[in-house]
Structure 1
Amino acid sequence: MIFQNTSQFADLLDEQDPLKNFRSKFLVPQHKGKDTLYFCGNSLGLQPVTAQHNINGILQTWQNLAIEGFFAGEDPWLGYHKKLTHTLSSIVGAKSEEVTIMNSLTVNLHLLMVSFYKPTGKRYKIIMEGSAFPSDQYALASQVKFHGYDPKDSIIEIFPRDGEFTLRTEDILEVIDQHASDLALVLFGGINYYTGQCFDMLSITAAAHKAGAYAGFDLAHAAGNVVLKLHDWDVDFACWCAYKYMNSGPGGISGIFVNEKHFANPYLSRFEGWWGFKQDERFLMPHDFKPEVGAAGWQLSTSPVVLLALHKAALDIFEEAGGIEPLRIKSELLTAYLEFLINDINTNNNDELFRIITPKNKVERGCQLSLVCKKNARQTFNFLMENGVMGDWREPNVIRLSPVPLYNSFMQVFELGQILAAAVV
């Protein structure tokens, strides 16, 4: 498509957008009496209009039924999480029994590593992306130390080549191959939080398996953003948060994926809890643990139903939109239009004022663009905020902007481009 830097062109794209009405399903923060230009879905998605209604429904059931709310009412709490797994599994490309909803992201990462980080005297190393989100770094380092190893020796971080911002797939695969004899786990983010790079999860998984290691992914910035095919890619495990692109509330409930090939693996240890026991026998209160079939067997504690209600409000919107595929089509176009407008600013100023460090190839990115600001970076970001743009600042000079297809329009992207241009005058 040949883009144009005009409001008329942006308006035309909006008129042709089959998802244009979904913006009305979200509540938008206000700035000077108008909707903000919200481009921070990579940190926290907007609130679904139905979120409050869903929570009120839970509170009403609690009021009217108390403990019987687990077994009676319109949506009994005992199986509430199961109502969401069909939509969730389609978003991450899994079978329904391969996903479940529980805990928060880093808690789930630790629980999954109990099962999938099994260091031995020969195989004990973990390969991960350099400059991953710190929580992943802390989790992996603490797991390694828990097993009696030194993170400096056991964790191999892969960084971009000198002068580059993103990783080359061939470099990742080469490092995996180099450590084939002592590798226990490859743990990557699906999308890097800083650069917005989407990794080749299929190739990374295949290389890890060829090396005799497990492959897992933190999908915090990928779930609800890009098309995932965890089952088909043969990924061993994954986890994600639901408060970014899945719009399920600040600190919202997380989810996990466990490949079905591991369900009956007797050598795969896990931490056990009552909520992960087989549901049809759970209330018999037996002494020895018998896991529920599938990813649900990794659950520990009773589901927080209020958080599930928020999650349901968001997932219902994904279902109504037709799933992740149509959202991704719009996302690619939105992001490409923002990229065009940023490059147009550089052209008009005869200078690369904004360097986009997110990959240009749409297959290698989600909706986020990360901009290195060449001049007056912090002042530029402050100008955006003062003019009703909500983005994200990262030291020392990076602005992250994420046009989300569910609630951002092409006209908003155009207006963002106008404000960016005014910021550097």
Structure 2
Amino acid sequence: MTYNTTADFAKQADADDPLAIFRQQFLIPQHDGKDAVYLCGNSLGLQPKAAERYLKDQLGYWQDKAVEGWFDGDKPWLGYHREVAALVAPIVGAESNEVSVMNSLTVNLHLLLVSFYNPTSKRFKILMEAGAFPSDQYAVESQVKFYDLDPAEAIIELKPRENEHTLRTEDIIEAIETHKDELTLVLFGGINYYTGQVFNMQAITEAAHKAGAYAGFDLAHAAGNVPVQLHNSGVDFACWCSYKYMNSGPGGISGIFVHQKHHNTNFKRFAGWWGYREDKRFLMQPGFDPAVGAEGWQVSTSPVMLLALHKASLDIFEQAGGINVLREKSVKLTGYFEYLIKSINEDLGKEVYQIITPANSDERGCQLSIICRYKPKETFNHLVSKDIIGDWREPDVIRLSPVPLYNSFADVYTAYLGLREAIQIIDI
């Protein structure tokens, strides 16, 4: 796609977009009776219009059937989580039995670490990205302390090179090789929340396995954003939230992946009744006998209402043709936004807005992280005043993420105008 800076380009691009119709399936925040320009799907996705109906349907089952809803009707609750997992699996490149939809992200990370972080006197270290989302940092630190280990010694945090904002794949692989005799786990995000960098999960996984370590990933910013191939890449485990790019609502239900090669492994795990093999679950026998597959990591009864909200969005993913189709539009949208931001710098003859997200579309998703070199908070506040909703990160970064399911080229163009106008309004 060849871009230009005219309003007519955005108008024509939207007219030619076969996915534009899906915007109508979401509720856009209203400001003064008009659609806001919502570019914050990296933090919370928009509400599908169908969410209310899906939720009401389940409330109706509860009203009409009460406890019998677990077993009666066209879609009994007992297997509802499995129906939702089947919709998630292709989004994360997994087999259905490798996915379970349950809990929240950090709870799931802890449950997986119980199984995949088993330090020994020789192998006890975890390699992760410096600047990972704090929840991951806290989870890993607490797991290390649980074994009475010193986080300063057991956790290796890898930083970008001096004067660079993102990690090079070769540096990650080199670090794995350097610490190969002490590593038991390599744990990365699929996408770094701050910079928007997509990590090469296959290369990291292969290097971890060569070093004799497990490879796990937090896909909070990757699931529903970029295609990933968890099964084919040989990733050992992964977890994600669903309220960002999969639009399942604030605090929506999370998910996990455990590769098939581990399904018959006798892992340590924190067990619960819902993870017991279903064919014998109601015998209430002592001794935990886990379900085969990712379901064996389940602990608590499935929250049906949260599953319904999640399914409302997942059905739209399927209607749109899946993650690969959405990705095609995403590359165009974000590429367009990058082009427009760079045009501002070119017109001014200086870099007012520095994009720290990789320029290579294979190394980023929807998100662009932008350092504002002059009056950053004032710039962000100006965007807010123009009903352009993005995300602020201290000390000077604005994150803006055009999501292909509900954002338009016109949204991107309006955000560009807001950034251009900010230069004049706040006297940069």
Whether these two folds match at TM > 0.5 is yes
Cα deviation, residue 191, structure 1: 0.2
**What percent of counterpart residues are identical?**
62
The C-alpha deviation readout for 1:280-332, integer Å capped at 9, x for no partner, is 11111111211111000100110000100000101000010111000000000
Instruction: Show the counterpart of 2:108.
Output: 108
Cα deviation, residue 74, structure 1: 3.5
Instruction: Show the counterpart of 1:348.
Output: 347
Letter in 2 for 1:109: L
Deviates more, 1:131-140 or 1:282-291: 282-291
State the SS of the aligned residue for 2:230. coil
Letter in 1 for 2:21: N
Give 1:178-327 correspondences, 5 Å limit: 178-266=178-266, 268-327=267-326
> Which structure 1 segments of 5+ residues have no match?
none
Cα deviation, residue 64, structure 1: 1.4
State the SS of the aligned residue for 2:61. helix
Cα deviation, residue 75, structure 1: 2.5
State the SS of the aligned residue for 2:196. coil
Letter in 2 for 1:353: V
Instruction: Show the counterpart of 1:381.
Output: 380
Output the CA distance in 2 between the equivalents of 1:158 and 1:62: 49
State the SS of the aligned residue for 2:121. coil
Cα deviation, residue 382, structure 1: 0.4
State the SS of the aligned residue for 2:128. strand
Instruction: Show the counterpart of 2:95.
Output: 95
Instruction: Show the counterpart of 2:35.
Output: 35
Instruction: Show the counterpart of 2:160.
Output: 160
The C-alpha deviation readout for 1:101-135, integer Å capped at 9, x for no partner, is 00000000000000000100000000000000000
The C-alpha deviation readout for 1:121-179, integer Å capped at 9, x for no partner, is 00000000000000000000000000110000000000011101000111110000000
State the SS of the aligned residue for 1:196. coil
Output the CA distance in 1 between the equivalents of 2:298 and 2:85: 14
Output the CA distance in 1 between the equivalents of 2:288 and 2:133: 35
The C-alpha deviation readout for 1:55-76, integer Å capped at 9, x for no partner, is 1111111111111111113431
Output the CA distance in 2 between the equivalents of 1:289 and 1:177: 38
Output the CA distance in 2 between the equivalents of 1:84 and 1:59: 17
Output the CA distance in 2 between the equivalents of 1:374 and 1:322: 40
Give 1:2-41 correspondences, 5 Å limit: 2-41=2-41
Instruction: Show the counterpart of 2:420.
Output: 421
Letter in 2 for 1:167: L
State the SS of the aligned residue for 1:256. strand
State the SS of the aligned residue for 1:355. strand
Cα deviation, residue 23, structure 1: 0.2
Cα deviation, residue 90, structure 1: 0.1
State the SS of the aligned residue for 2:248. coil
Cα deviation, residue 2, structure 1: 2.0
State the SS of the aligned residue for 1:400. strand
Instruction: Show the counterpart of 1:397.
Output: 396
Deviates more, 1:9-18 or 1:193-202: 9-18
Output the CA distance in 1 between the equivalents of 2:135 and 2:270: 21
Output the CA distance in 2 between the equivalents of 1:337 and 1:351: 20
Report how many residues are paired. 424
The question of 1:63 aligning with 2:63 is answered yes
The question of 1:365 aligning with 2:364 is answered yes
Deviates more, 1:83-92 or 1:118-127: 83-92
The question of 1:330 aligning with 2:304 is answered no
Output the CA distance in 2 between the equivalents of 1:56 and 1:132: 38
TM-score by length of 2: 0.98
State the SS of the aligned residue for 1:232. helix
CA-atom RMSD, angstroms?
Answer: 0.7
State the SS of the aligned residue for 2:314. helix
Output the CA distance in 2 between the equivalents of 1:59 and 1:27: 21
Q: Runs of 4 or more off by more than 4 Å in structure 1?
A: none
Letter in 2 for 1:368: Q
Output the CA distance in 2 between the equivalents of 1:328 and 1:159: 28
